[in-house]
Amino acid sequence: MPILVGGDHCLAIGSIAAAAQQARSARKKLCVLWFDAHADTNTNVLTPSGNIHGMPVAILLGHGPKELVEISGTVPALQPSEIRQIGIRSVDLGEKKFVHELGFEGE
């Protein structure tokens, strides 16, 4: 069972995409626990800052630049049901609407 601990800036997209790819190959269930104050579900269209560090969850869910969205070999790398967000308290307005549209909520 892979356990990755670190900030979204250094681990999220590549490491979680790789874990998702491995889980699919092994026909194993995947659950990502996202502990953060931010939902990190902005897209390149929604983001007020333009910084990619606010986009990893959206990218893993298949929304964002093609080169990043396709990194796991399967689009999307994750389904909304495979991620649980915990501790979220700071969400941009457009991002909040998008999170609801995707069908997952923070805890």
- DSSP, res 90: B
Q: Does 82 reside within a domain?
A: yes
Q: Three-class SS of residue 21?
A: helix
Question: Is 87 domain-assigned?
Answer: yes
Q: Which domain holds residue 56?
A: 8-102
Residue 19 lies in a domain: yes
Within-domain flag for 33:
yes
1 assigned to some structural domain: no
- Structure pTM? 0.90
Assigned domain for 52 exists: yes
Nearest residue to 40 via CA among 75, 91, 81? 91
**Predicted pLDDT of residue 10:** 65
| The pLDDT of residue 7 | 65
Token pair 């969205």 is found at 69
Q: For the chain, what is the domain count?
A: 1
Structure tokens belonging to residue 53: 């560090």
Residue 2 lies in a domain: no
- For the chain, strand residue ranges (E) read 32-35, 83-86
The verdict on residue 76 lying in a domain is: yes
Going residue by residue through the chain (107 aa), what tens digit of pLDDT does each one get?
Answer: 777 777 656 678 999 999 999 999 999 999 999 988 999 999 989 988 888 889 999 999 999 999 999 998 999 999 999 999 999 998 999 999 999 999 875 54
